Amino acid sequence: MVYVGSYLADSLLIKLHHTPWRNSNQPTLEISLDITTVSPEQVPHPVTQEGVVIDAKGDYVEVLEQFPNLAPAGDAVLVDLTGGGQVCCISAIVRSGNISFFF
Per-residue pLDDT for 40 more than 80? yes
Full-model pTM: 0.61
The CA distance from 31 to 94, in Å, is 32
Phi, psi of 42 (to 5 degrees): -85, -5
Confidence of residue 43 (pLDDT cuts 50, 70, 90): confident
Confidence of residue 48 (pLDDT cuts 50, 70, 90): confident
CB atoms within 10 A of CB 37: 13
Q: Where are the domains of the chain?
A: 1-69, 70-103
More confident: 29 or 71: 29
Confidence of residue 82 (pLDDT cuts 50, 70, 90): confident
